[in-house]
Structure 1
Amino acid sequence: MAKARKVVIVIFDGLRPDMIAGRMPTLDAFLSENLWLRNARSVFPSVTRVCTTSLATGAWPGRHGIVNNQFHLNSDLRGPLVDTGRVDRLLQLLERTGEIVSTDSLGQRLAAEGRSMMAIHCGSAGSGLLINHAVRENGQRTFSVHGAGATLTPEIVPGILATCGPLPSQDVPKFDVVAYAGRVANEVALAKEQADVTLVWLPEPDTSFHFCGIHSERTDQVMSAADAVFAEILDTVRKGPYASQTAVIALSDHGQIATSALVDLVQLLRTDGFRADEMPNDDTEILVTGGNMGELRPLANDFGLVRDLGQWLMQRDEIGMVFADPEMVPGAFSPAAVHQVHARSADLLYVMRSHEIPGPGGIPGIGVFTGGVPLGGGMHGGLNRFEMNTVLGIAAPDGRRQESDDTPASLIDIAPTVLGLLGTTFRCDGRFLPVFEPESEHAEIEIMHESHGTFQQRLVRSRIAGREYLIEGGRA
């Protein structure tokens, strides 16, 4: 039996649960008054477009195929980089491989049940596509804050502009974008032909964490602004015709840590004799992507080169974790340990070294990175506890109230939980979360270790209800 008639999902991109108190009173109260899943976790890599697709499909990256924010195709390594932030590159991926995402999504499952979905997405245009990659075929709606050219349903944009005004400035912090998302949610999505599932993806505090710093006053201010929009959405729901029949889910997709040092990994590789580059050219033997984590993809099928690269990574103090076939790279974790086995997955993945010690402003969590944000700014992608721990609160009709639950949960559980609240099921990697009563079993914790020479790494996972969850990992 359906427990809800409507579901409203609000995502705070990049929000760490330990940074809510004192900054976001509405969200703090919402979590305290309803079910707060404190052990919620991201996926690996903990980057936005991978997280988006896992949330949308209920699947790990090794099943849905969006294996990184940017990646090269193993079947066409000299072809263009797949930049998942761009709609044109995702449509190009469709042409090159026959699919963008390898699994069905929440939107597709809803459509099969004759249900509707509207997404208001304020991240990259690519993220907006990935939240409901078959939106056009499903007859559903996705609005991107970047306008008609950034969505597969551009026909809805003129009506939104007429109601809510011109598209907002993209200045950082994104006060204008956050406020505009609130207007679209309250004046359009929740006011006119409300969909069965309404999703609002706010770009903050992620953007300000990156470019203003986790500890900055401006970041605190934009967190307050996002909290105010959440308050307005809750008020609209409470005053609406489905108030007693609406479930509200508030979550984040990943956390962030402060960047403590910048490393030019490509240059280090080249200095030591590896012909590495970010894009293929006549002098390239290894393709590299970077950030808090990244990939190394040899252009030739060379197991010896993979072994040498893995051992080189383990000798660098800047490297925190290495994932590869342990038969080729002793001391590496198998990519399967982090659900990263797909035809698009790289043979070799690395995570930059991080620590849980206090960084700028006394906020714990710092790490080395390879570029992309100002030194000292926030970053994510790895398995540090403060990158992986996410916000997840659920208010459901007849659901648990004023309860804090440490049962494992992840982004892969959002789609099956939404569908379960609406009275249907979704066969995927995730599970329906304990919205109405606690789990009947306790989670089993598994601490894995691998080492080679002086390099030692650990990975913590948990198991419950036949599912396996990532908790954290790093250099031991």
Structure 2
Amino acid sequence: MSRVIIAVFDGLQPAQIDSSVCPNIHQLSQDGCFFESHHPVFPSVTRINAASMVTGVNPGSHGLPGNTFVARDFDPGRVLSAMEPELAAIASSGLPVLYTPTLQEILSTVGLEYMSIGVGTSGNAYAHNPRGEEFGGATIHPDFSIPSSLHANLLSSFGEWPAESIPNTDRYVHAMDIFLDFVLEEKNPDVALIWSSEPDKSQHAFGVGSPESCAALSQADAQFGRLLGYLEASPNHKKADVLVLSDHGYSTIIGAVDIEGEMKRAGFHVGPGPEGVLVASNGGSALIYVGEANRDLADRIVSWLISNEWCGAILASERLGHIEGTIPASVISYDGPRCPDITVSFKWTSEMNVERFAGHVYSTGGAPGLGQHGSMSRHEMNNTLLCRGPSFRKGERILSPSGNIDVMPTVLDLLGVTVPESIDGRVLEEAFSDFEGEIVSETREYVATRKTEKHTYEQSIVVSRVDKSIYLDEGNSSVRITKI
């Protein structure tokens, strides 16, 4: 019976895979397939990418558009944090947390099972299998489990979870104990995933490539080495296919933007109501919900946004109609019932930080020099995917575009399960050992401009495509001073 094992390292950039820092991950990248053009979905934040990994669709379809967002169908007057209590409240109201079927929901129709364990946020863990009580499988997190009865059982068997810390090594060690002894050895599901919150936590706290974040990654890699050793020795898993991935890339903060405060100072009403604006901060981007999709108000907001040095690319929902200077959110499948009316990705550069990692960006939080993500920066829109096992080619560098939306269909195909035609992702067949075809991709640039008395704002978004699957490569803006 085929088995698929997935290890996620939150915020791991391909450029960080170095033999001196993470030898186990590095060796796997040399032995198997290294996807050099792998993409998260935008915004490049964790919880929406976790949802895209298990649904195979973009955020416009699955309904979780950010780490913070407004669920118009649940509470249209409030910005929600996508954590387990809030997401569980949506589910308890009778509304779906995710609009499309998850990996476990599909596997359950053919008698297969998916189990995950993670030490990141509770919302990240919850998104993997929100309907687990109904469709089976399991999600394990320090704060809760699905099914709920599992939480107390694991506390009894493995003891209390260590306190959360930076680096979060103690929790990850505990998670790996449960993953090896309970998930793999006792339950032996068809698909099993373990999620490390490093190097993300340390990069937020100390910066990309800092000694502290490198040490955290090394410690997480050592636990991954435990997993590889177990798989090699286990009769049930010796021939398992292993995927290593991250949820997003990373940048270094140029400066922090209090976008709510700045909008208030500019005269906008931040709050519910027909003339109100709700702002969901997502690191390198901000999601702006305009009261009653007020087009005139939205136009004034865009006019104000482009006057700021931190303003990068701007998307607008088709609910508003055409707004000069914006690009339709639908070009990257980011237009849906819970998606914002206006999305601004902050401006970024490719300058190196002090540790020689490329990428700087403005951010809704944090401090200059620390790590952040969430924007359309090419350094955040390129993340990690490695594959090794009997199904995959050996020692292959794969250049065709791929993304987190491709994880679910690829896993289904590895297990011999029919992939739903409705999903956005594709099977990454170019990595398979028996593949003899050719992957054809194309790249398109979308451009929009808006002139004011003082300057001309121009933005550009670059999107790659393979068949119907689209991948956002980058998006940014430039400003030209108007000649008098």
TM bracket (short chain): over 0.9
CA RMSD of aligned residues (A): 1.9
1:63 aligns with 2:61: yes
1:16 aligns with 2:13: yes
Q: Which residue of 2 aligns with 1:354?
A: 348
Q: Which residue of 1 aligns with 2:126?
A: 129
Q: CA deviation at 1:472?
A: 1.5
Q: Secondary structure at the match of 1:473?
A: strand
User: Residues of 2 paired with 1:422 and 1:48: CA distance?
Assistant: 26
Q: 1:431 aligns with which of 417, 426, 432?
A: 426
Name which of structure 1's ranges 282-291 and 354-363 shifts more when overlaid on structure 2: 282-291
Post-superposition CA distance 1:9-40 (Å, at most 9, x none): 10001111101113111101101100111111
8 Å contact from structure 1 (residues 244, 397) kept in 2: no
User: Residues of 1 paired with 2:274 and 2:337: CA distance?
Assistant: 26
User: Residues of 1 paired with 2:14 and 2:293: CA distance?
Assistant: 43
Q: CA deviation at 1:217?
A: 1.1
Q: 1:187 aligns with which of 181, 187, 190?
A: 181
Q: Which residue of 1 aligns with 2:270?
A: 276
Q: Give the residue type in structure 2 aligned to 1:442.
A: V
Cα 1:79–1:24 shift into 2, 3 Å: same
Q: CA deviation at 1:393?
A: 0.8
1:31 aligns with 2:23: no
Q: CA deviation at 1:193?
A: 2.4
User: Residues of 2 paired with 1:283 and 1:337: CA distance?
Assistant: 27
User: Residues of 2 paired with 1:368 and 1:298: CA distance?
Assistant: 23
TM-score by length of 2: 0.92
Q: Secondary structure at the match of 1:74?
A: coil
Please identify runs of 4+ aligned residues in structure 1 that moved more than 6 A: none
Q: Which residue of 2 aligns with 1:312?
A: 304
TM-score by length of 1: 0.93
Q: Secondary structure at the match of 2:408?
A: helix
Name which of structure 1's ranges 130-139 and 326-335 shifts more when overlaid on structure 2: 326-335
Q: Which residue of 1 aligns with 2:276?
A: 285
1:204 aligns with 2:198: yes
Q: Give the residue type in structure 2 aligned to 1:200.
A: I
User: Residues of 2 paired with 1:188 and 1:310: CA distance?
Assistant: 52
User: Residues of 2 paired with 1:463 and 1:75: CA distance?
Assistant: 31
Cα 1:441–1:370 shift into 2, 3 Å: closer
Question: For structure 1, which runs of at least 5 residues remain unmatched after alignment?
Answer: none
Post-superposition CA distance 1:378-409 (Å, at most 9, x none): 11111111111111011131420011101111
1:299 aligns with 2:291: yes
User: Residues of 2 paired with 1:9 and 1:403: CA distance?
Assistant: 19
Post-superposition CA distance 1:67-88 (Å, at most 9, x none): 1111123356654432212x22
Name which of structure 1's ranges 448-457 and 202-211 shifts more when overlaid on structure 2: 448-457
For residues 70-469 of structure 1, the aligned pairs below 5 Å read: 70-75=68-73, 79-85=77-83, 87-96=84-93, 98-146=95-143, 150-277=144-271, 280=272, 285-290=276-281, 291-324=283-316, 325=318, 327-371=321-365, 373-427=366-420, 428-434=423-429, 435-436=431-432, 437=435, 439-453=437-451, 454-469=456-471
User: Residues of 2 paired with 1:75 and 1:422: CA distance?
Assistant: 35
Q: CA deviation at 1:163?
A: 4.0
Cα 1:337–1:301 shift into 2, 3 Å: closer
Q: Percent identity?
A: 27
Q: CA deviation at 1:225?
A: 0.8
Cα 1:130–1:474 shift into 2, 3 Å: same
User: Residues of 2 paired with 1:397 and 1:462: CA distance?
Assistant: 29
Q: Secondary structure at the match of 2:440?
A: coil
User: Residues of 1 paired with 2:436 and 2:253: CA distance?
Assistant: 38
User: Residues of 1 paired with 2:75 and 2:308: CA distance?
Assistant: 26
Q: Give the residue type in structure 1 aligned to 2:468.
A: G
Cα 1:240–1:68 shift into 2, 3 Å: same
Cα 1:430–1:439 shift into 2, 3 Å: farther
8 Å contact from structure 1 (residues 303, 328) kept in 2: no
User: Residues of 1 paired with 2:360 and 2:44: CA distance?
Assistant: 15
Q: CA deviation at 1:151?
A: 2.5
8 Å contact from structure 1 (residues 50, 69) kept in 2: yes
Q: Give the residue type in structure 1 aligned to 2:465.
A: R
Question: For structure 2, which runs of at least 5 residues remain unmatched after alignment?
Answer: 479-484
Cα 1:327–1:183 shift into 2, 3 Å: same
Cα 1:438–1:403 shift into 2, 3 Å: farther
User: Residues of 2 paired with 1:34 and 1:78: CA distance?
Assistant: 46
8 Å contact from structure 1 (residues 163, 187) kept in 2: no
User: Residues of 2 paired with 1:78 and 1:327: CA distance?
Assistant: 21
In the alignment of these two chains, the number of paired residues is 465
User: Residues of 2 paired with 1:13 and 1:439: CA distance?
Assistant: 32
Q: CA deviation at 1:160?
A: 2.8
Q: CA deviation at 1:439?
A: 4.9
Q: CA deviation at 1:203?
A: 0.6
Q: Secondary structure at the match of 2:212?
A: helix
Post-superposition CA distance 1:244-283 (Å, at most 9, x none): 4311111001011111111222222222221225xx4x89
8 Å contact from structure 2 (residues 180, 230) kept in 1: yes
Q: CA deviation at 1:120?
A: 0.7
8 Å contact from structure 1 (residues 164, 187) kept in 2: no
8 Å contact from structure 1 (residues 288, 296) kept in 2: yes
